[in-house]
């Protein structure tokens, strides 16, 4: 009995070898087959009474007869027998307990189906009928089983499909090859390989970072040593020469005494009320040359007492023993896992406290990162974040949420010296970092910003504080807003602001029009810069203003000269516009009749230009309506608008790659991330993980422009009541004066795409054809060429404008064509 498996193994090898031998000889016999090799006495396949005098077949008469029968029965499918024998031969040799009996039947069925399918296909191998004198490319089986038995009842489509199914089923059963399982395995293997590659990449990155840190440390030590060596001779000549000062003692590494900073403690020095008022008054003084038809000579910037007073004294100071207790827990936990570390500084910020530790020599910082959950458990913290190392320091930072959060109010920030003394062109009070340092960004440098976070994380409050920061600094003459709020509710409060270019845009369909207006405005500003010979808004606004007629008259009178009409031109030429000393129109006249440039009559050169800040609250809603158009408009604005003084702030609560696309990200370098759901979302906003560990309610990561270092900070809090008071104060001083060009456009009824009938579509096609032939577009042209009434032609032109094919109406001129006409089929 014990011998049985052994014997079976021997027979398996014999059968396997026999099959492989057949698989080797079969192709030789089949390829060298010649019908005349078959002797006359062989039934069915003999074609001649006189066979070849010299045998062609390399496997002799037996090979010829076998090949002849295989071709006769299976046609070209005879070659499938090679796979049959080779496959089963190898399986018998290599796979233990391979059961030929279970599989061979299915293999045979596979060959039969192969023959039938070859017969039913009409394209190739039909020449074999004559060459081999057989029934068809599938042989006898193909003819009688495939064509007659299957093809007859199932028809030309049904038969191949059924046969193909049988073929696949028998192939699966013959080989034990499960396509779904194999597919799944391949997919899993691919994912595993990717994860491994990613792991390897991260490990390499960590290794390089570690090496760099090591090198920095070594460099520091070398520097320290060098300093010590340099100091020594100065102490005395008799210093013992044999002192082994060159080799640093490894155990003697000393760490600075740990200190506790409470960044939330009431600030020692506060600016006086008089300072703040003086600063505000200074900023409120009418600045020379600001026009804009808003009659704002008496405009006062809002005072800070519109904001709620912040209660610094009410803040509980940090309890040092509590903080030291937490730090000891951290050090103990690390020690339990074999990591020796020394305590470092403790900094209590508004939302989190950062505990620093100095890992001992030879400790890899990522070992500390790996203990994140254990440290969280030991300190009973809800969420912790480990900075290994803290950028620019030789310590590892463990950030733990404070039990009680300290609010960072807008008033607190606007009263700081940092704010009062800031040299930023468009300062934004964003918040305070862990060290209590105020974060004041300059929108002019940003120059565009992306704000993202889940719902309730603090985005709207952040946007409100940005708007408020600007309202506290700028008059409507100096800064204008375009607010886009598809969510409708968020920005309604601002509708009364005189700073608005147009009422808050809430209809997603009109957003594109607003963005296009911004693009036009930007282009016009560049034209004005070119005419006046300046490069950006700063230079434009700082240029000396042309003198007024009254000033010129006074000068002329002083010189005793007679005024001649030729000396006082009514318009400024291109050259004189750039010439500060050239005579100009009277300033009062200028308001009603702006300075114009004769050769380009549309170009109005204002004395000063306001900054324009475009705020989009909820990009996702816009990306749903017209993703390509919105994306390209944003890209256009962000790429060029900086010099023109146009800045974009985009907020979203959906930081997905299809909303914050690569193009949008590439053009918006500054980012503010609030809490998000996952590391993936964080990567979309910041290109790195981290935002998923934030605590919500204004806890944020700020990526300043031209930097890769994130600043964790607590966002500034401004309440709805404060915003209402602020807007009321501003709105009482001036009424909104909307730009007519954009206002009219946004108020004109849009054509709903659903209302565009088939008849309209036909006309649109015809109009496009006319445009292609004439290379121009105007309502009257279409009226004439297509014999249309005015209303009909104007409607089609409106549809074209809405689809972005032609530009807006521009007086009696032709419409601008915005597409490549050659791309029309
Ligand atoms: N800087 C902050 N300091 C303290 N609390 C804040 C701060 N920012 C936001 N909060 C709190 O979080 C709440 C939600 O903030 P906010 O309305 O800005 O969220 P959001 O991200 O805009 O949500 P949504 O997308 O749903 O509008 C606020 O009502 C406020 O209580």
d(CA 447, CA 321): 45
Ligand 1 atom closest to 674 (CA): 21
User: Which residue in 460, 466, 515, 516 sits closest to 489, CA to CA?
Assistant: 460
Residue 167 lies in a domain: yes
pLDDT greater than 90 at residue 154: no
Decide: 715 in ligand 1 pocket, CB within 6 A: yes
The dihedral formed by the CA atoms of 637, 642, 645 and 651, expressed in degrees to the nearest 10: 60
Q: What is the CATH number of the domain that holds 770?
A: 1.10.10.10
Distance (angstroms) between ligand 1 centre and the Cα of 378 equals 30
Whether 589 and 661 share a structural domain: no
Q: Please count the other Cβ atoms lying within 10 Å of the Cβ belonging to residue 182.
A: 10
pLDDT greater than 80 at residue 177: no
Which of 688, 704, 733 is where one domain is finished?
A: 733
- Confidence band, pLDDT 50/70/90 cuts, at residue 563: very low
So what's the pLDDT on residue 798?
A: 84
So what's the pLDDT on residue 450?
A: 93
Whether 636 and 726 share a structural domain: yes
Decide: 119 in ligand 1 pocket, CB within 6 A: no
Q: Please count the other Cβ atoms lying within 10 Å of the Cβ belonging to residue 434.
A: 22
Ligand 1 atom closest to 453 (CA): 21
d(CA 21, CA 627): 65
Query: Within 13 Å of residue 752, how many CA atoms lie on the same side as its CB?
Result: 3
So what's the pLDDT on residue 566?
A: 41
Decide: 208 in ligand 1 pocket, CB within 6 A: no
Name the strands in the sheet holding 449-452, side by side, starting at the edge strand that comes first in the sequence.
438-442, 427-433, 711-715, 699-703, 670-673, 449-452, 646-652, 611-617, 479-484
Whether 654 and 506 share a structural domain: yes
CB 407 within 8 A of CB 717: yes
Which of 705, 733, 761 is where one domain is finished?
A: 733
Domain that holds residue 783: 751-823
So what's the pLDDT on residue 469?
A: 93
| Phi, psi angle pair for 386, to nearest 5° | -115, 130
Which of 146, 177, 208 is where one domain is finished?
A: 177
Residue 257 lies in a domain: no
Q: What is the pLDDT of residues 62-108, one digit of tens each?
A: 898 999 899 989 988 999 999 999 998 998 888 877 888 888 888 99
CB 438 within 8 A of CB 418: yes
Residue 232 lies in a domain: no
- Give whole-number Cα distances, 219 to 127, 213, 226, in Å: 82, 10, 10
% of the chain with per-residue pLDDT over 90: 16
Q: What is the pLDDT of residues 777-816, one digit of tens each?
A: 888 898 888 888 777 888 888 888 877 788 777 767 788 8
Distance (angstroms) between ligand 1 centre and the Cα of 457 equals 5
Whether 96 and 156 share a structural domain: yes
Q: What is the pLDDT of residues 632-687, one digit of tens each?
A: 888 888 888 888 899 999 999 988 888 898 888 888 989 999 999 988 999 999 98
Whether 381 and 497 share a structural domain: no
């951290």: which residue's tokens? 330
Residue 222 lies in a domain: no
CA angle 397, 402, 408 (to 5 degrees): 100
Whether 381 and 420 share a structural domain: no
d(CA 27, CA 18): 15
d(CA 804, CA 801): 5
Element (H, E) at 99: none
Which residue is closest in CA terms to ligand 1's atom 31?
A: 697
Ligand 1 atom closest to 716 (CA): 1
3-state SS, residue 34:
coil
Ligand 1 atom closest to 458 (CA): 18
CB 612 within 8 A of CB 480: yes
Q: What's the total number of domains in the chain?
A: 5
| Phi, psi angle pair for 620, to nearest 5° | -60, -40
Pocket test for ligand 1, best of 413, 461, 718 (most atoms within 8 A of CB): 461
Ligand 1 atom closest to 405 (CA): 4
Q: What is the DSSP letter of 316?
A: P
CA angle 329, 710, 468 (to 5 degrees): 110
Q: Where are the beta strands (DSSP E) in 485-538?
A: none
Whether 500 and 550 share a structural domain: no
486 preceded by cis ω (within 30°)? no
Whether 460 and 586 share a structural domain: no
d(CA 255, CA 258): 8
Decide: 146 in ligand 1 pocket, CB within 6 A: no
Q: What is the DSSP letter of 817?
A: B
Whether 38 and 67 share a structural domain: yes
Mean per-residue pLDDT over the chain, rounded: 79
Decide: 456 in ligand 1 pocket, CB within 6 A: yes
So what's the pLDDT on residue 35?
A: 81
User: Which residue in 554, 549, 620, 609 sits closest to 582, CA to CA?
Assistant: 549
Whether 422 and 442 share a structural domain: yes
CB 357 within 8 A of CB 387: no
Whether 442 and 524 share a structural domain: yes
- Give whole-number Cα distances, 112 to 33, 79, 169, 176, in Å: 21, 12, 13, 18
So what's the pLDDT on residue 236?
A: 40
Pocket test for ligand 1, best of 408, 430, 460 (most atoms within 8 A of CB): 460
So what's the pLDDT on residue 217?
A: 74
- In angstroms and rounded to an integer, the radius of gyration of the C-alpha atoms of the chain is 42
Q: What is the pLDDT of residues 117-130, one digit of tens each?
A: 988 888 877 777 77
Residue 718 lies in a domain: yes
Decide: 430 in ligand 1 pocket, CB within 6 A: no
Residue 82 lies in a domain: yes
Q: What is the CATH number of the domain that holds 397?
A: 3.30.980.40
d(CA 168, CA 58): 34
Decide: 461 in ligand 1 pocket, CB within 6 A: yes
Enumerate the β-bridge partners of residue 381: none
Distance (angstroms) between ligand 1 centre and the Cα of 724 equals 17
pLDDT greater than 50 at residue 233: no
Residue 552 lies in a domain: yes
Q: What is the CATH number of the domain that holds 462?
A: 3.40.50.300
Sort 775 into a burial class: Cβ within 10 Å, 0-12 / 13-18 / 19+: exposed
Whether 663 and 700 share a structural domain: yes
Pocket test for ligand 1, best of 402, 697, 714, 718 (most atoms within 8 A of CB): 697
Residue 618 lies in a domain: yes
Lowest mean per-residue pLDDT among 264-278, 320-334, 337-351, 768-782: 264-278
């Amino acid at each position: 009995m014990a011998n049985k498996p052994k014997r079976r193994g021997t027979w398996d090898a014999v059968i396997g070898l026999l099959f492989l031998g057949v698989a080797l000889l079969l192709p030789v016999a089949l390829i060298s087959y010649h019908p005349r090799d078959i002797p006359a006495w062989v039934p069915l396949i003999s074609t001649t009474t006189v066979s070849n005098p010299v045998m062609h077949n390399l496997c002799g008469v037996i090979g010829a007869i076998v090949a002849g029968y295989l071709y006769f029965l299976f046609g070209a499918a005879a070659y499938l027998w090679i796979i049959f024998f080779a496959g089963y031969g190898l399986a018998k040799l290599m796979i233990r307990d391979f059961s030929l009996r279970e599989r061979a039947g299915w293999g045979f069925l596979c060959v039969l189906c192969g023959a039938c399918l070859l017969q039913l296909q009409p394209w190739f191998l039909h020449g074999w009928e004559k060459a081999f004198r057989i029934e068809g490319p599938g042989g006898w089986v193909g003819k009688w089983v495939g064509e007659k038995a299957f093809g007859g009842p199932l028809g030309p489509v049904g038969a191949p499909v059924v046969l193909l199914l049988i073929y696949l089923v028998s192939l699966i059963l013959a080989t034990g090859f499960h396509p779904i399982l194999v597919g799944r395995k391949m997919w899993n293997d691919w994912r595993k390989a990717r994860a491994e590659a990613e792991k390897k990449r991260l490990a390499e990155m960590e290794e390089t970072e570690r090496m760099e840190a090591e090198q920095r440390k070594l460099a520091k030590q070398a520097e320290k040593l060098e300093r010590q060596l340099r100091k020594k001779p100065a102490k005395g000549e008799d210093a013992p020469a044999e002192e082994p000062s060159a080799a640093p003692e490894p155990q003697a590494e000393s760490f600075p005494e740990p200190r506790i900073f409470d960044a939330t403690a009431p600030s020692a020095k506060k600016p006086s009320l008089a300072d703040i008022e003086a600063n505000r008054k200074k900023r409120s003084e009418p600045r020379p040359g600001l026009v804009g038809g808003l009659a704002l000579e008496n405009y006062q910037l809002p005072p800070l007492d519109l904001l709620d007073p912040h209660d610094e004294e009410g803040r509980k100071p940090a309890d040092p023993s509590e903080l030291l207790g937490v730090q000891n827990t951290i050090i103990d936990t690390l020690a339990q896992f074999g990591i020796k570390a020394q305590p470092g500084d403790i900094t209590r910020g508004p939302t989190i406290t950062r505990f620093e530790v100095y890992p001992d020599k030879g400790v890899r910082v990522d070992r500390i990162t790996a203990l994140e959950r254990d440290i969280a458990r030991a300190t009973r913290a809800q969420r912790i974040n480990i900075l290994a190392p803290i950028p620019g320091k030789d310590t590892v930072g463990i950030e733990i949420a404070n039990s009680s959060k300290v609010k960072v109010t807008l008033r607190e920030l606007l009263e700081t010296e940092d704010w009062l003394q800031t040299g930023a062109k468009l300062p934004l009070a964003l918040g305070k970092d862990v060290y209590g340092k105020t974060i004041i960004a300059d929108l002019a440098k940003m120059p565009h910003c992306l704000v993202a976070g889940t719902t309730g994380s603090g985005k709207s409050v952040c946007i409100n504080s940005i708007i408020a920061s600007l309202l506290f600094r700028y008059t409507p003459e100096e800064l204008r807003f375009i607010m886009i709020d598809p969510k409708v509710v968020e920005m309604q409060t601002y509708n009364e602001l005189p700073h608005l270019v147009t009422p808050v845009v809430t209809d997603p369909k009109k957003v594109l029009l607003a963005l296009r207006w911004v693009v036009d405005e930007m282009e016009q500003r560049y034209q004005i810069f070119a005419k006046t010979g300046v490069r950006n808004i700063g230079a434009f606004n700082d240029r000396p203003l042309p003198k007024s007629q009254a000033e010129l008259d006074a000068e002329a009178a002083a010189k005793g000269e007679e005024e001649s009409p030729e000396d006082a031109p009514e318009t400024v030429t291109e050259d004189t516009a750039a010439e500060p000393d050239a005579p100009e129109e009277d300033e009062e006249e200028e308001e009603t009749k702006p300075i114009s440039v004769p050769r380009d009559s549309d170009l109005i050169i204002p004395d000063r230009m306001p900054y324009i800040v475009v705020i989009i609250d909820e990009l996702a809603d816009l990306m749903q309506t017209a993703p390509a158009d919105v994306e390209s408009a944003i890209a256009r604005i962000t790429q060029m608008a900086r010099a023109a003084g146009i800045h974009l702030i985009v907020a979203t609560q959906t930081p997905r790659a299809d909303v914050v696309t690569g193009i949008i990200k590439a053009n918006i370098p500054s980012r503010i991330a609030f809490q998000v759901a996952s590391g993936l979302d964080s990567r979309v906003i910041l290109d790195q993980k981290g935002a998923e560990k934030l605590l919500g309610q204004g806890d944020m990561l700020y990526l300043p422009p031209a930097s890769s270092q994130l600043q964790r900070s607590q966002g500034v809090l401004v309440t709805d009541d404060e915003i209402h008071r602020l807007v009321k104060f501003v709105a009482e001083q001036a009424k909104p004066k909307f730009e007519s060009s954009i206002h009219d456009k946004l108020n004109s009824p849009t054509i709903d795409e659903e209302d565009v009938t088939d008849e309209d579509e036909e006309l649109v096609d015809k109009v496009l054809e006319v445009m292609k032939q004439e290379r121009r577009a105007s309502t009257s042209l279409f009226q004439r060429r297509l014999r249309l009434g005015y209303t009909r032609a104007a409607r089609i032109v409106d549809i074209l404008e809405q689809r972005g094919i032609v530009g807006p109406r521009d007086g009696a001129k032709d419409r601008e064509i915005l597409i490549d006409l050659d791309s029309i089929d």
